[in-house]
Structure 1
Amino acid sequence: MILRRRAVLLLMMLMTAVPLVLAGCTGGPIKRASRPAPVPPKLAITPAPESRNLPTSVEIGTTVSDGKISEVVLTDDKGVRVDGAMRSDGSGWMPSRALANRRTYTAQVTAKNDSGKTVTQRTTFTTMDKPARRTVTNLNVQDKRTYGVAMPVTVSFDSEIPKDARAGVQRRLLVSTDPPQPGVWAWEANGRQVSYRPPDFWQPGTRLNVRAALDGVPMGKGSFGDTDRTGSARIGDHRLFLEIDNRTKQMSVFKDDKLIRKIPVSLGKSSTPTSSGKMVIMEKHESTIFDTTGSPDPYVVQVEDAQRLTWGGEFIHAAPWSVGDQGSRNVSHGCTNVSNANADWLMETTRIGDLVTIKGTEVKLDQGNGWTAWNVSWDEFVKGSALPVPADLKPAPPAPAGPANGGPPAADKASTPTPTPSNGGR
């Protein structure tokens, strides 16, 4: 019995020893790899430390990886903080106003990542002396105004902006809308006008906020922008379009795509033809003087209810002297003549920013002779941008030519005059 008990005990010992041997073959308990310690973001900023003679439009450039900018603090040499905000694309921090000349500023930029790690960099720089030359700028959007749905945002300059300076200028032109309707800035060939529009007309009721932050911006040839300009306005509640057909000598007025009035017109005679194209009402005058002294056919005349369409002097206006010709014959010096009653009605009905389309005359509208952003297709318009066009606003690639579509139509070609305002042709 004793031997049998010893055998049973030995067997039990062997059975309990087997797991220990197997466990030993695995090399012991598995250890989990430890996570790497969080690291701060990588940050680079501009201007470089101790930079000097910078334009007063200088921004704080930021490049960050593995994080986002959490704070930018810019102070002048008296410790006064400068207000500003990050650009929407995160490429830099833009002061809310131009910096002062001959002053030293310090920027402190902090970036933070999802792990809570931060990194901070500082830079100090000095702005340039007051420039000897300034480029005069003009913004067409004014505060508390209501415009038509074709109103382009236009900035004009008193001298040409060279091509190599246009991208820097364009980056300082800011538009926001409610509801959002993204658009593109495009330059006229002469470099004296740049316009912003969406692919289609503004939605009625849209609110526009524009900032042309051009004070101190390099404009080429040693010149700098004169000042910052802002405008907050609204688009009217209705879509109003005027269509003028030289063949019928009639103007059709549409409100929300419904014809509301037909008006007989007299356009420019063959020696002074009216331009065909898509233009926008730019000015409205209850009374003004047309003075063409120095032209081949000089005259000075007072006109009523005049609405400017081009820089070259084409208007819609009252012309009681041509009522007998309106609807049948062209006798004007390039303007669109209507009766006193119709001119008065138009003044009450239209807004600056309403689209006027004229067709069938002897000459085409010169691009840049007025607010001509709608006179070209979207595909043509965006070619005038000095900056890359956002992917969602790029034109669709043309369809291949074939029996179904025959390929895209050819674009109109037009010269670009200097947009010098003049008083018009009656």
Structure 2
Amino acid sequence: MAGFRAMIMVAVLGGATALAGCTATKDAAQSTTSAQAPQENLALTVSPADRASGVPISAEIGIKLGSGTVDGVDVRDAAGQKIAGELRSDASAWVPTAPLKYAQRYTATVTAVGSRTHHESKSVAFTTMKQPSQVEGVGFYLFDGQEYGVGMPIPIEFVRDVPANLRAAVQKRFFVTSDPPQPGAWHWFSPTQVQYRPAAYWQPGTKLTVRLGLKGQALGGGYYGEEDKIARVRIAKDKVEVKVTNHPKQMQVFKNGTLIKTMPVSLGKASTPSSSGHMVVMEQAYTYRFDTRGEPNGGYVVDVNYAQRLTWGGEFIHSAPWSVSDQGYTNVSHGCVNIGPGNAAYLFTVMKVGTPVTVSGTEVKLAPGNGWTVWDMDWPTFLKGSAVPVASDVANAVAYEPYPKPKPSPTVAPSTSPGTAGNAQLGTPTPSAS
């Protein structure tokens, strides 16, 4: 959001009125002067409507202008106390810093200025809704003051489905500020799951402030948001990435683009294969209990150390002392990435929640939404999941490409050696020795 001087570029039409004849009377001259400098009409409209009642406490002060720019917004409660807030970057609305209060009267005054320094103001008074009987919270996976890896998305999870016709209004109440600024967007993976990512990995050291302004926001089924949530977090100063391959069965750890460690792994066996795709660490636990009783191919209970979750389906990187002899050679796990105890402990010193992890070469593809899968689709596909039209600068941002297309092979000139003229076929591979 920008300050009160955010500009809206508009075309202002004006001009002198032509008069018939060569001689003008005094009245005609006065009419000409008036026609040359008409009173500017900024066509300012403000919402909510004047005297509206039952207004949601998540409401913003909507602003429309035919011409000119917003010069100021003043919102006060019934006691005359000024309410803090900011304009959206496109000056389409003024957003209160905190939700309004239930069953309270407010007055909003918007002032606009035109190209001839003409000012126009409009005031509206409105009353907010009573406190609803049905409210619910949302799952928010950023925690104030924490530090995350460069691939950390902003995942939000709802208790019940958000109807399609409400998703745009809900999404508009998510506010993300990054320092330094980076373009990003939201993607609805399901009616209950929406995630945000920047176009490319966060720059190391980025500071993030995220506000979910959902208190009093309609979520569907007669339910409203219970509270606003805010988190101020930091991205780690080093870019750490992890790449796991099935052929060979190994893990590589990169720090700021440099390979710093390689270790053997054992992945999921044929009946319970690991997922191939671009994931991030979702949680870390020094000790984690796997209880698979009642699950297909499960039925066991075991405690593991140095566990790092990759999917909702239960795929982790973790210490597996029982499979050390298989690591690097044979896949024996139930879908997890097995590593030795020493290597597992080492990973806890360099990885964080939000560290990107890519697994490749296995029998199955990562399912969208099975974890924080924002990096497993290209940018245009990701943008299609937004409930709100995406700005052109965001759509055209330089983005991370999870599955880059191979570069075309150089064109080979046809051979002119004796006996082969006319038989060369461009693009046909040369048979290799068996």
1:116, CA displacement in angstroms?
Answer: 2.8
Q: CA RMSD in A?
A: 2.2
1:177, CA displacement in angstroms?
Answer: 1.4
Give 2:390's aligned amino acid.
V
Unaligned residue ranges in structure 2 (runs of 5+): 1-21, 398-406, 410-434
1:114, CA displacement in angstroms?
Answer: 4.1
CA distance in 1 between partners of 2:137 and 2:314 (Å):
22
1:40, CA displacement in angstroms?
Answer: 5.6
Partner SS, residue 139 of structure 2: strand
Q: Counterpart in 2 of 1:120? A: 121
Q: Counterpart in 1 of 2:343? A: 342
Which structure 2 residues correspond to residues 245-324 of structure 1 after superposition, within 5 A?
Answer: 245-296=245-296, 297-324=298-325
Which structure 2 residues correspond to residues 37-52 of structure 1 after superposition, within 5 A?
Answer: 39=40, 41-52=42-53
Q: Counterpart in 2 of 1:222? A: 222
1:247, CA displacement in angstroms?
Answer: 1.9
Larger Rg: 1
CA distance in 2 between partners of 1:135 and 1:376 (Å):
31
Tell me if structure 2 keeps the 8 A contact 1:38–1:115.
Answer: no
1:251, CA displacement in angstroms?
Answer: 0.6
TM-score (structure 1 length as normaliser): 0.82
Matched, 1:134 2:139: no
Partner SS, residue 81 of structure 1: coil
CA distance in 1 between partners of 2:84 and 2:96 (Å):
6
1:179, CA displacement in angstroms?
Answer: 1.6
1:292, CA displacement in angstroms?
Answer: 2.1
Give 2:263's aligned amino acid.
I
Which structure 2 residues correspond to residues 346-357 of structure 1 after superposition, within 5 A?
Answer: 346-357=347-358
C-alpha distance after superposition, 1:7-56 (max 9, x if no partner): xxxxxxxxxxxxxxxxxxx989xx99644155363310011112122211
Q: Which moved more, 1:262-271 or 1:334-343?
A: 262-271
Q: Counterpart in 1 of 2:5? A: none
1:395, CA displacement in angstroms?
Answer: 5.6
Give 1:197's aligned amino acid.
R
C-alpha distance after superposition, 1:111-163 (max 9, x if no partner): 22343322221112222222222232122222222221111122221222111
CA distance in 1 between partners of 2:169 and 2:23 (Å):
66
Give 1:67's aligned amino acid.
G
Partner SS, residue 384 of structure 1: coil
Unaligned residue ranges in structure 1 (runs of 5+): 1-25, 397-403, 407-426
CA distance in 2 between partners of 1:165 and 1:37 (Å):
43
C-alpha distance 159-405 of structure 1, shift in aligned 2 (>3 A): farther
Tell me if structure 2 keeps the 8 A contact 1:292–1:299.
Answer: yes
CA distance in 2 between partners of 1:405 and 1:386 (Å):
36
1:67, CA displacement in angstroms?
Answer: 2.1
Q: Counterpart in 1 of 2:418? A: none
Matched, 1:66 2:58: no
Q: Which moved more, 1:351-360 or 1:223-232?
A: 223-232
C-alpha distance after superposition, 1:319-344 (max 9, x if no partner): 11111111111111111111110000
CA distance in 1 between partners of 2:396 and 2:249 (Å):
36
Give 2:155's aligned amino acid.
T
1:79, CA displacement in angstroms?
Answer: 2.8
Tell me if structure 2 keeps the 8 A contact 1:378–1:395.
Answer: no
Give 2:270's aligned amino acid.
S
Give 2:280's aligned amino acid.
V
Matched, 1:378 2:411: no
Taking every aligned residue pair, what percent have the same amino acid on both sides?
A: 44
Q: Counterpart in 1 of 2:390? A: 389
Partner SS, residue 348 of structure 2: helix
1:293, CA displacement in angstroms?
Answer: 2.8
1:94, CA displacement in angstroms?
Answer: 0.8
CA distance in 2 between partners of 1:264 and 1:161 (Å):
43
1:253, CA displacement in angstroms?
Answer: 1.0
C-alpha distance 405-262 of structure 1, shift in aligned 2 (>3 A): closer
C-alpha distance after superposition, 1:76-117 (max 9, x if no partner): 233332211111110111111111222222212222234332
Q: Counterpart in 2 of 1:369? A: 370
CA distance in 2 between partners of 1:52 and 1:103 (Å):
10
Matched, 1:197 2:197: yes
Q: Counterpart in 2 of 1:7? A: none
Q: Counterpart in 1 of 2:233? A: 233
Give 2:356's aligned amino acid.
L
Matched, 1:360 2:348: no
Tell me if structure 2 keeps the 8 A contact 1:275–1:358.
Answer: yes
C-alpha distance after superposition, 1:157-192 (max 9, x if no partner): 12221111110011111111122111111110x221
Partner SS, residue 341 of structure 1: helix
TM-score (structure 2 length as normaliser): 0.81
CA distance in 2 between partners of 1:116 and 1:67 (Å):
9
Matched, 1:244 2:215: no
CA distance in 2 between partners of 1:197 and 1:180 (Å):
13
C-alpha distance 329-72 of structure 1, shift in aligned 2 (>3 A): same
CA distance in 2 between partners of 1:326 and 1:209 (Å):
41
Partner SS, residue 384 of structure 2: helix
Q: Counterpart in 1 of 2:174? A: 173
Partner SS, residue 42 of structure 1: coil
